[in-house]
Chain A
Amino acid sequence: MEKNGFGIAAVSYDSHETLRDFARQHGIRFPLLSDRESTVIRSFGILNANIAPMLRAHGVPHPVQYLVAPDGLVIRKYFVPNYQHRVTASAVAFREFGAVSEGAATVTLRSGALTLTMGLSAERAFAGQEIGFFARFTLETGWHVYGTPVPDGYTATSVIFDGTAIARQSFELPAATPARMDFLKDFVPVYTGTFQGIGSLLLRFPLDEGTTVLSGMVRFQQCSDSVCEPPETIPFELPLTLAPFMDATRKKS
């Protein structure tokens, strides 16, 4: 985020001493702000009103993240309606600027006239976080694949991750270009040249820490003006390190 000219700050109701210890323990260099009386949390209208005054968590916010323009207007906000789930800063940077963490793996697949490079927005994440991914397709001249809606008998281009480690996923391609297909006597949405889709992956919670692979399938059908290949389903794998879960019950005393 900083490389892209954005400041980062995080607000909680902890004391600045608690935040100082936390920042030292985890090597955090961006500002952690102390909102002891939850005044700023209230002024944003995000106080969690479900927590009774006698509970320790009284005063916490709903965990919202805002991307704010220099004039103070909200560009976008991120909220996952499960307090254990968060969107990672890498997913925000990825969605907004296409920024990928150094060290994040990419994988390149080739089939016929199509080359596909895929990558995750981060090489490391916590269970329950949301990360981003991209899929960049390049087709040789004269070839196309299909967008949606696809005519009967043809296969649209899609990327689907295996759900073992992923609770929710999305993938968006740019709008496909309608192309006149003489043999269908109709216009069909197609992709040619180089195009890129981006998606998000909400990791399940909990997951075992350590190295894992996120696997999935890409489906497409490549055709030229004269030839249509059969639909293809190609598996892929992207490595991801799952960071150890930080839990109050396991915290060092």
Chain B
Amino acid sequence: MANDVPRDLEGKAAIMREFGRLRAAGLPVPAELQEKHVNATNDGFTTGPEPGERIPDFSLPDQEGISRSAANLTGRNGLLLVFYRSADW
């Protein structure tokens, strides 16, 4: 439950470390820890601009190191912009 989530970052970090330790060791993650980890990670989540609002302008390098802007990524009808956690882990 969400009210099991520690308020402080150190308490959340303890849950995340334990989760990471079991995963790295290839050990099963107990359902209770799994749920705590999900709740600690999602606590107070924010989802940014709402439908009808404008996204902030941005410019970032792509996988080839080439700078890409929102304008240059947008197709004839628009853009699907995906934020994800990591491609590395």
Tell me if chain B binds chain A.
Answer: yes
Report the bound CA distance from A5 to B86 in whole Å: 27
- Contact assessment for B68 and A31 in the assembled complex, using a CB-CB cutoff below 8 Å: yes
Q: Within 8 Å CB of A249, what residues of B? A: 23-24, 26
Q: Within 8 Å CB of B42, what residues of A? A: 50, 62, 81-83
Q: A19-B62, A50-B43 are in contact. Are A60 and B80 (CB under 8 A)?
A: no
- Contact assessment for B83 and A11 in the assembled complex, using a CB-CB cutoff below 8 Å: yes
- Contact assessment for A31 and B63 in the assembled complex, using a CB-CB cutoff below 8 Å: yes
B82: Cβ under 8 A from any A Cβ? yes
Min CB distance, A248 to chain B, in Å? 4
A16: Cβ under 8 A from any B Cβ? yes
- Contact assessment for A7 and B80 in the assembled complex, using a CB-CB cutoff below 8 Å: yes
- Contact assessment for B63 and A52 in the assembled complex, using a CB-CB cutoff below 8 Å: no
Report the bound CA distance from A67 to B75 in whole Å: 11
Report the bound CA distance from A57 to B48 in whole Å: 19
Q: Within 8 Å CB of B60, what residues of A? A: 11, 33-35, 40
Partner of A6, one of B52, B77, B86: B77
A68: Cβ under 8 A from any B Cβ? yes
- Contact assessment for A60 and B51 in the assembled complex, using a CB-CB cutoff below 8 Å: no
Q: A50-B43, A77-B50 are in contact. Are A19 and B63 (CB under 8 A)?
A: yes
Tell me how many residues of A have a C-beta within 8 Å of chain B.
69
Interface residues of B in 5-58 (CB under 8 A from A): 9-10, 12-13, 16-17, 23-24, 26, 38, 40-58
Report the bound CA distance from A63 to B87 in whole Å: 13
Partner of A9, one of B26, B68, B77, B87: B68
Q: Within 8 Å CB of B9, what residues of A? A: 50-52
Q: Within 8 Å CB of A1, what residues of B? A: 80
Interface residues of A in 44-75 (CB under 8 A from B): 44-46, 48-52, 54-57, 60-75
Report the bound CA distance from A51 to B15 in whole Å: 11
- Contact assessment for A72 and B55 in the assembled complex, using a CB-CB cutoff below 8 Å: yes
1/0 per position for A229-250, CB-CB distance to B under 8 A?
0000000000000000001110
Closest chain A residue, CB of each to CB of B27: A249
- Contact assessment for B80 and A8 in the assembled complex, using a CB-CB cutoff below 8 Å: yes
Report the bound CA distance from A62 to B73 in whole Å: 21
Residues in B lying within 8 Å of A, measured CB to CB = 9-10, 12-13, 16-17, 23-24, 26, 38, 40-58, 60-65, 68, 70, 73-89
Q: A14-B87, A60-B86, A68-B80 are in contact. List 7 more A-B contacts (CB 8 A).
A: A6-B78, A22-B63, A22-B87, A45-B46, A52-B12, A74-B55, A77-B49
What are 15 sample pairs from A and B whose C-beta atoms fall under 8 A apart? A5-B78, A6-B79, A9-B73, A10-B82, A16-B61, A16-B65, A20-B64, A40-B58, A65-B80, A68-B55, A70-B76, A70-B78, A71-B54, A73-B54, A75-B51
